[in-house]
Amino acid sequence: MPWYFKIAAVFVTGYVLILAMMYFGQRSLMYEPDPNRVSPEQAGLPEVIEQVLRTPDGEHLVTWRLKAQPGKPTILYFHGNAGNLAGRTERAKAYRNAGYGMMMLSYRSYGGSTGNPTEANIAADARLAYDTLRKEGVPAKDIIVYGESLGTGVAVQLATEREVGAVVLDAPFTSVVDMAQQSYPWLYLRPFVVDRYDSLAKINQINAPLLVLHGQLDPLVPLEMGREVHARAKDPKRLIVFPKGHHSDLYEHGAAEALERFIDQQRS
């Protein structure tokens, strides 16, 4: 066999092995849970209770729950791909201070929740959280679905399936496929991504006011993706870009105030 055929064979074999490793290990790259269960009181939120939801397949989901003040909506919050609810304490305090109700869902294997995170599982758990709020008497028009990073894919999916008062997307991506291809441009990954969270394909199915928040300096999810998601959505919609914002620090640049203004405008 000529030497160049041997080199090509080594290259192809190595490429296929890398693809195989990426395929079988993709969820460990996508989901980075902190399993530590921190109570709201330990996080400095004594008014918030821990509410555990039992899924139809026997798993237990930890949520942080706070009832809304009269006339205020409830934030149904879906977090990003890493950490636990304790890492969202400052956001929870902002919602509390504004009088909003809150249900923050801890995904499977995150922060005391059991089970394995997958797109299908998290979508089912999001529906369970929403239905729990409705059974507790929260009107659909008072539920604001909020997604952060990975949670934007969860929020978009839920809002296509349930009636909601509004949707807020914090650092949204177009799809996990696009994110993977951006991170590994030299690998042909598109057919092999299992949990796709294709928000760009679903966003125009949402019939609720939309707010998109994005940091101009976001090093993980490029601003252009947020612009694409916003452009594809139906009206009414608004995009707010924070010139000094990165990926997870938008509340340091006025995101809480922007959220309050958006909610007041939609409910006035």
pTM, 2 dp: 0.93
CB count in 10 Å sphere of residue 146: 26
> In angstroms, rounded to a whole number, what is the distance separating the alpha carbons of residues 9 and 12?
5
Q: Does 209 map to a domain?
A: yes
Q: Which of 106, 110, 146 is nearest to 262 (CA)?
A: 146
Q: Does 262 map to a domain?
A: yes
Which domain CATH number covers 177? 3.40.50.1820
Q: Does 21 map to a domain?
A: no
Average pLDDT, integer, range 31-35: 94
Question: Residue 37 is part of which domain span?
Answer: 31-267
- Read off the pLDDT of residues 196-222 as tens digits, 9 standing for 90 and up: 999 999 999 999 999 999 999 999 999
Q: Does 16 map to a domain?
A: no
If one counts the domains in the chain, the total is: 1
Asked if 179 contacts 173 with a C-beta cutoff of 8 angstroms, the reply is: yes
Residue 102 has pLDDT above 70, yes or no: yes
Residue 146 has pLDDT above 90, yes or no: yes
Omega cis (within 30) before 236: yes
pLDDT band at 11 (very low <50, low <70, confident <90, very high): low
Q: Does 14 map to a domain?
A: no
Q: Does 155 map to a domain?
A: yes
